[in-house]
Structure 1
């Protein structure tokens, strides 16, 4: 039975070939704990889905688009300051903002792409 070929580790400069479905080799997995944990273990549970829907009903417009004079429906609840596993910051509604998907992806890519984890 055919299978998908392996690919290089996502860690910059690492050329180790890893199986399809993994992002990092065994050496680099420990450096990216948030990447290998699923969403429910990171706090995005049924409670989060319920609370985020309530928040979006109360804040229906994208905060970033609104600042730029556009009125776009918000579809994602964003953590203004990344919580990095801190449950108190995760559930702090003052740290939430409603965003459209393009604005959320842009913000996450530009501001959150170099995380610093504290354990």
Structure 2
């Protein structure tokens, strides 16, 4: 049986709402792929202090592969807090990981201070 909060009707409704709003895997879309989302994942895992019932923008619709990739690398006990949750880059060379703060978008040729 799933643990709290995943065994609640509130989570079931939130999950269904997110999958209805974003039925495709959000990470695969960044990779240029089309995969059906089967999991809803917290941006900040509940066991790491995240809200169990965040707003929809605090959740990701993911396919099984992407969900397992993130869970294995980041969400598990002892997961690496500063590693990328998702590997790879989009067609423009930007990291597909929506959490990547090391490669914040700035115009090509601009210095780190934005000039």
Q: After TM superposition, is the score higher than 0.5?
A: yes
Over alpha carbons, which structure has the higher Rg?
A: 1
Alpha-carbon distance in structure 2 between the residues aligned to 1:108 and 1:62 = 15
CA RMSD across the alignment: 2.0
**Structure 1 alignment gaps of length 5 or more:** 1-37
Count of aligned pairs between the two proteins? 77
Runs of 4+ residues deviating >4 angstroms: none
Q: 1:96 aligns with which of 59, 65, 73?
A: 59
3-state SS of 1:89 partner: coil
- Displacement of 1:115: 4.4
Deviations 1:8-33 (A, max 9, x none): xxxxxxxxxxxxxxxxxxxxxxxxxx
**Structure 2 alignment gaps of length 5 or more:** 80-115
Higher normalized contact order (CA 8 Å, seq sep 6+, divided by chain length) = 2
Alignment map for 1:1-119 (pairs within 5 Å): 39-40=2-3, 42-44=4-6, 45-84=8-47, 86=49, 89-93=51-55, 94-115=57-78
| Structure 2 length-normalised TM | 0.59
1:5: which partner in 2? none
